[in-house]
């Protein structure tokens, strides 16, 4: 390179969500997961995340379409996990005010992190639809259905 040449603009590294094998231990709990986040802001940047702790949130204001879709997909993954990994979640939409969620419970701990939320629609395998809400404090998700916070995930029935 000579003194008159200009180096190309430095492109930021994208936040990515990968499917990995074999399953890895979640960064925040003992669950095994096949999902890992590559987050260039943190070290280590390879972060296995289970469905409960797996918010895929890009730290940059200029997030890409792929990064935005990864966020919505992480919400879908959580809702399905809460419903014993059955059914589907065809609708996820960001909401502006989590305090407007029916049954919303303020966190017990004072936290500097602002919560974010989504309206979702879950469809059970039998076709029954359920509107629900998901809230995240960035460390974990919370699911609200029928005006109440769900504290346990559904367990698959053994036939």
One DSSP character per residue, 6-31 reads -PPPPPPPPPEEEEEEEEEE-SSSS-
Q: Which tokens go with 38? A: 């590559």
The Cα 132–Cα 118 span in angstroms is 9
pLDDT value at residue 139? 86
Distance of alpha carbon 129 from alpha carbon 125, whole angstroms: 10
- Looking at residue 43, its pLDDT comes to 67
CB 32 within 8 A of CB 26: yes
Which DSSP letter does residue 99 get? G
Domain boundaries of the chain, sorted by first residue? 54-150
Q: What is the pLDDT, as a whole number, of residue 107? A: 75
Of 70, 71, 60, 48, nearest to 134 by C-alpha is: 71
> Can you give the pLDDT of all 159 residues of the chain as single tens digits?
455 544 444 466 677 888 889 999 998 999 999 999 887 776 667 889 999 998 888 766 777 888 888 889 999 999 999 999 999 999 899 998 988 899 888 877 665 668 889 999 999 999 999 999 999 988 899 999 998 998 888 775 444
- CA quadruple 90, 94, 99, 105: dihedral positive or negative? positive
Helix (H, G, I), strand (E, B) or coil at 88: strand
Q: Where are the beta strands (DSSP E) in 69-125?
A: 88-95, 116-123
Beta partners for 46? 38
Sign of CA dihedral 90, 64, 15, 62: negative
Q: What is the C-alpha separation between 115 and 83, in angstroms, rounded?
A: 22
Q: Scanning the structure block, which residue is given the tokens 């492109």?
A: 11
Give the pTM. Answer: 0.82
């Amino acid at each position: 390179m000579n003194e008159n040449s200009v180096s190309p603009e430095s492109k930021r590294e994208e936040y990515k969500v990968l499917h990995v094998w074999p399953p890895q231990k979640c960064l925040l709990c003992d669950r095994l997961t096949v999902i890992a986040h590559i987050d260039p802001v943190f070290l280590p940047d390879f972060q296995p995340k289970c469905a409960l702790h797996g918010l895929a949130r890009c730290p940059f204001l200029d997030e890409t379409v792929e990064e935005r879709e990864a966020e919505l997909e992480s919400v879908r993954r959580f809702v399905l996990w809460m419903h014993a990994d059955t059914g589907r979640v065809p609708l996820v939409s960001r909401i502006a005010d989590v305090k407007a969620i029916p049954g919303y419970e303020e966190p017990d701990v004072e936290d500097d992190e602002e919560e974010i939320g989504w309206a979702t629609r879950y469809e059970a395998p039998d076709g029954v639809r359920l509107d629900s809400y998901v809230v995240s404090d960035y460390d974990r998700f919370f699911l609200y259905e029928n005006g109440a916070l769900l504290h346990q995930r559904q367990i698959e029935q053994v036939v």
